[in-house]
């Protein structure tokens, strides 16, 4: 009896129920009327995407001459996992208590953090999760941290105001949350803040962080931020990054 | 009705009494003041529309001219009425002449009060009749076409382009949606004017303009005829132009409007004096036009915890109810809001959600409650998200909610794609049909988890309302008791648009519309 085939990390493809079967499930809509021709069109399209044996397992009339498909196909491509490098916030995250101790031992003063949803963004769920006392999913927010002064300025804060507040409070760190990223509305807004901080001579003196479901660390760094935190980030992750940066960059 | 939750009616009465006193205190303030958007609304209702050569809306042009002349405290109706008497022009012609500098409205000779009143009331009555006719048209549609069963399936469209919205909305109606809400573009709530004309660019939504309302109304009437169901249209009557949006909605026969007394203060940082004055007139208009308002209590739960702060949702619903009654809005039009926002990993969280929804149903028996889907704990895992939405749908059919804002499996990823909406409608229809009479069959165990939870929330809400009654709503908000958000009496946006009325101030539409269509 043959043993189970081993994964070749230089040639990885999707797994359904057998190694290298390449199985992918997908769903999408085509702007064509429901029927046999629609199913055929979907199959041809999925073939062009690089799938073998495309199968329409379900299709449905969306009511305006459009059709929805659920499909499977076998992916013919592979990737080399061994050569992949992704920039990310690479550190051991401390817990809330560890951050608090770290501040007491290494910084010896209150760390001032201000945060906001800037520009036109009115969705505070992200910044609230990180900053508010209550936090999110049993991770308390920065307001609850001993040794931190945390101010959540809320939604639709103009970049001017957050810069002014940073100067007034001598902020160590600025957190910017951007939830609405449709049509890339967040990019000019995030860039403008960096430019304003540079103009004020503040950029090097603060830890500048952005966050949001569509913000990667890579994009954040490209835009001139120290870090970007996406979905699944908690207050202690952000706090660890801030206090480490303060010590590493000698911002004490 | 026998309470399934064994709620204490004395507590409910006491909570309502406290809320009534809170609303009465605020009403004293409201009656003394007016705002720029209230006066622009009067101008709109007198027929002023359009923009000048720099795209500034004529209602703004007109009211700004009154402000320059120091006349805002007397109200737009007075000045427009006087200008009608002096020039023989229509309000629209007057606004156009103000725009070109031909008329400086506060510098015209002043006619006698009787003549001014006669001129204004005759124009005002035409608009009031038009809005009344819209009600009749809606009632006729409901009689001839019929409507979906409650809970109405409520979906949003948000492409930014009104013509693309039309395609999405018509598809949703064909898939079974009963209410189409056109989400507004990000930050429209902070504009102190209403944009004009059809629009094709927006971020995360589409501008609310009167022309966009008209385009969507027409599209929904057409698809309604086709599917044999009246399709309701919803927009957002909040922000700095609350009453103007209400007026536009009344004129173009919208059916549902988001319209909360406190939401703008808490979540858009609009000044509390401004919002409380604005909400009053906007609700008078909504009430008269037969529009169902939706209140925004669900928003508290996006900032505060849904288990710990559940009583603030109930307290706010009771306050919103009393404010709405003050503005003559009947209970049948009060879509009081709440949401399915508890953390999904919470043990027995479903029972708490059920308790909350059942409690709202029993305390507001005739209100078409608006129930909002999970958003805060949606993760991008669309498969789990679809299940969370199913749990939400089950609570809704069980407790007879009125307006079901359908959750989307792709919540937290993007504004809905065409098939996201189809999947969500399918989800709701399946559950609403499959569990249709579950609420009539199942009772709750005496002193069990569900009953106790509802009783506890009610008792905390009653306590909070009695506190607010002592402190007044302004101080309560300053202390951050709603949604954990603190706002100051003189802070926030739009305060400079609030003015105290003088003794000759009048607004014909309050008199003609308050108390609904007779």
pLDDT digits (tens, 9 = 90+) for B218-247: 999 999 999 999 999 999 999 999 999 999
pTM above 0.80, yes or no: yes
- For chain B, the distance separating the N- and C-terminal CA atoms, rounded to the nearest angstrom, is 29
The answer to whether B431 and B184 have CB atoms below 8 angstroms apart is no
Q: What are the contacts of A12-18 at 24+ separation with CB within 8 A?
A: A12/A78, A12/A79, A12/A80, A12/A81, A13/A75, A13/A77, A13/A78, A13/A79, A14/A75
| Model confidence at B516: pLDDT above 70 | no
Place of tokens 């031909």: B102
Q: What letter does residue A16 receive in the DSSP assignment?
A: S
CA proximity to B353, closest of B371, B379, B375: B371
Predicted pLDDT of residue A132: 82
Active centre residues of A (catalytic): 134
CA distance A195 to A208: 12
What order of strands is seen across the sheet that includes strand B232-236? B334-335, B292-294, B256-258, B232-236, B179-182, B152-157, B403-405, B370-372, B337-339
Predicted pLDDT of residue B170: 95
Would you kindly state where each structural domain of chain A is located, as residue ranges?
A: 23-81, 96-248
A122 touches chain B (CB under 8 A): yes
Predicted pLDDT of residue A104: 94
Identify all chain B residues contacting A135, using CB atoms and an 8 Å cutoff.
Answer: none
Number of other CB atoms surrounding residue B136 within 10 Å: 11
Predicted pLDDT of residue A121: 74
| Model confidence at A250: pLDDT above 60 | yes
In chain A, which residue ranges form alpha helices assigned H by DSSP?
A: 36-48, 96-102, 125-131, 159-169, 186-199, 217-222, 235-248
CATH number of A23-81: 3.30.30.60
Residues of chain B with CATH 3.20.20.440: 1-32+153-518
Predicted pLDDT of residue B338: 95
Strand partners, A111: A148
CA proximity to B176, closest of B496, B387, B350, B421: B421
Question: What percent of chain B has pLDDT above 90?
Answer: 87
B517 pLDDT band, cuts 50/70/90, is low
Report the chain B residue with the minimal C-alpha distance to residue A120: B187
CATH number of A96-248: 3.40.50.280
Residues contacting B329, CB < 8 A, separation 6+: B283, B284, B286, B287, B293, B516
Predicted pLDDT of residue B1: 55
Q: What are the contacts of A149-153 at 24+ separation with CB within 8 A?
A: A149/A110, A149/A111, A149/A112, A149/A113, A150/A113, A150/A114, A150/A115, A151/A112, A151/A113, A151/A114, A151/A115, A152/A114, A152/A115, A152/A116, A152/A124, A152/A127, A152/A128, A153/A114, A153/A115, A153/A116
B518 pLDDT band, cuts 50/70/90, is very low
Q: ipTM score here?
A: 0.85
Answer whether A156 sits within 8 Å of B187, measured CB to CB: yes
Identify all chain A residues contacting B414, using CB atoms and an 8 Å cutoff.
Answer: 182
What average pLDDT does the segment B365-386 reach?
A: 95
CA distance B3 to B363: 9
Number of other CB atoms surrounding residue A53 within 10 Å: 12
| Model confidence at A120: pLDDT above 80 | no
Predicted pLDDT of residue A52: 98
Active centre residues of B (catalytic): 263, 298, 370
Taking only residues 204 to 223 of chain A, the set having a beta carbon closer than 8 angstroms to any beta carbon of chain B reads 213
A156 touches chain B (CB under 8 A): yes
Q: In Å, how far is A239's CA from the nearest CA of chain B?
A: 20
Q: In Å, how far is B303's CA from the nearest CA of chain A?
A: 6
| Model confidence at A4: pLDDT above 80 | no
Mean pLDDT of chain B: 95
pLDDT in tens, A224-247: 999 999 888 899 999 999 999 999
The domain over range B1-32+153-518 is classified in CATH as 3.20.20.440 = yes
Answer whether B418 sits within 8 Å of A132, measured CB to CB: no
Q: In Å, how far is A140's CA from the nearest CA of chain B?
A: 12
Report the chain B residue with the minimal C-alpha distance to residue A184: B203
CA proximity to B360, closest of B404, B310, B292: B310
Answer whether B167 sits within 8 Å of A64, measured CB to CB: yes
CA distance B265 to B193: 18
Q: Of the ranges A42-46, B426-430, B478-482, which one carries the lowest mean pLDDT score? A: B478-482
In a mutational test of the A interface, the residue from B164, B171, B189 whose CB has the highest number of chain A CBs within 10 Å is B171
pLDDT in tens, A160-176: 999 999 999 999 999 99
CA distance B215 to B434: 36
């Amino acid at each position: 009896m043959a043993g189970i085939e081993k994964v070749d990390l230089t040639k990885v493809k999707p797994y359904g129920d057998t190694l290298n079967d390449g199985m992918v499930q997908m769903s999408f809509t085509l702007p064509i009327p429901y029927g046999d021709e629609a199913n055929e069109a979907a199959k041809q399209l999925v073939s062009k995407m690089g799938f073998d044996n495309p199968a329409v397992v379900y299709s449905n009339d969306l009511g305006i001459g459009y059709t929805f498909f659920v499909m499977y196909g076998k992916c013919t491509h592979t990737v080399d996992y061994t050569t992949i490098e992704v920039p990310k916030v690479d550190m051991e995250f401390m817990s809330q208590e560890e951050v608090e101790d770290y501040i007491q031992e290494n910084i010896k003063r209150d760390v001032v953090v201000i945060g906001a949803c800037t520009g036109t963004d009115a969705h505070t769920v992200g910044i609230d999760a990180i900053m508010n006392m209550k936090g999110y999913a049993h991770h308390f927010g920065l307001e609850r941290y001993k040794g931190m002064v945390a101010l959540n300025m809320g939604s639709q804060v103009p970049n001017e105001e957050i810069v002014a507040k940073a100067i007034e409070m001598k902020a160590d760190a600025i957190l910017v949350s951007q939830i609405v990223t449709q049509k890339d509305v967040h990019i000019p807004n995030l860039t403008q803040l960096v430019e304003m901080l540079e103009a004020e001579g503040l950029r090097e003196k603060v830890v500048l962080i952005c966050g949001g479901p569509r913000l990667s660390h890579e994009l954040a760094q490209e835009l001139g931020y120290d870090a970007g935190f996406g979905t699944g980030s908690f207050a202690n992750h952000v706090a660890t990054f801030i206090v480490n940066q303060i010590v590493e960059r000698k911002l004490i | 009705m026998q309470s399934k939750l064994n709620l204490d009616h004395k507590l409910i009465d006491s909570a309502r009494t406290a809320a009534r006193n809170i609303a009465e205190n605020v009403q004293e303030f409201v009656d003394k003041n007016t705002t720029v958007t209230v006066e622009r609304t009067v101008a709109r209702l007198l027929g002023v529309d359009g923009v000048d050569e720099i795209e500034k809306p004529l209602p703004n042009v007109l009211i700004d001219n009154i402000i320059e002349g120091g006349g805002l405290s007397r109200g737009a109706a007075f000045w427009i009425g006087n200008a009608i008497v002096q020039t023989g022009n229509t309000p629209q012609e007057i606004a156009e002449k103000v725009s070109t500098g031909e008329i400086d409205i506060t510098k015209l000779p002043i006619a006698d009060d009787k003549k001014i009143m006669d001129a204004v009331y005759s124009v005002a009555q035409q608009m009031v009749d038009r809005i009344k006719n819209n009600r009749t048209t809606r009632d006729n549609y409901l009689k001839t076409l019929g409507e979906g069963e409650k809970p109405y399936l409520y979906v949003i469209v948000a492409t930014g382009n009104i013509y693309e919205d039309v395609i999405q909305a018509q598809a949703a109606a064909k898939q079974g949606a009963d209410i189409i809400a056109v989400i507004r573009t990000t930050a429209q709530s902070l504009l102190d004017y209403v944009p004009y004309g059809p629009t094709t660019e927006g971020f995360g939504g589409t501008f609310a303009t009167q022309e966009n309302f008209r385009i969507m109304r027409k599209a929904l009437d057409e698809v309604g005829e086709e599917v044999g169901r009246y399709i309701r249209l919803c927009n957002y009557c909040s922000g700095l132009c609350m009453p103007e949006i209400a007026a536009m909605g009344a004129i173009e026969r919208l059916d549902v409007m988001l319209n909360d007394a406190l939401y703008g203060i808490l979540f858009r940082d609009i000044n509390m004096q401004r919002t409380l004055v604005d909400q009053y007139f906007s609700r008078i208009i909504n009430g008269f036009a037969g529009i169902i308002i939706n209140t925004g209590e669900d928003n508290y739960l996006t900032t505060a915890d849904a288990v710990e702060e559940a009583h603030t949702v109930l307290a706010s619903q009771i306050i919103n109810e009393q404010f709405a009654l003050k503005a003559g809005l009947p209970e049948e039009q009060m879509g009081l809001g709440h949401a399915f926002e508890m953390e999904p990993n919470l043990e027995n969280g479903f029972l708490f959600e059920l308790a909350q929804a059942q409690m709202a149903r029993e305390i507001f028996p005739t209100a078409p409650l608006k129930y909002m889907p999970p958003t805060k704990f949606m993760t991008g895992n669309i498969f789990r998200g679809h299940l969370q939405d199913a749990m939400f749908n089950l609570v809704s059919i069980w407790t007879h909610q009125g307006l079901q804002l359908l959750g989307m499996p792709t919540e937290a990823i993007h504004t809905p794609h065409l098939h996201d909406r189809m999947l969500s409608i399918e989800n709701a229809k399946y559950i609403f049909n499959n569990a249709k009479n579950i609420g009539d069959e199942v009772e709750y165990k005496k002193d069990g988890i569900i009953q106790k939870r509802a009783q506890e929330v009610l008792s905390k809400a009653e306590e909070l309302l009695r506190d607010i009654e002592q402190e007044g709503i302004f101080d309560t908000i300053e202390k951050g008791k709603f949604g954990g958000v603190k706002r100051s009496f003189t802070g926030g946006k739009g305060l400079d648009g609030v003015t105290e009325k003088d003794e000759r101030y009048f607004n014909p539409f309050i008199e003609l519309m308050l108390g609904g269509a007779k």
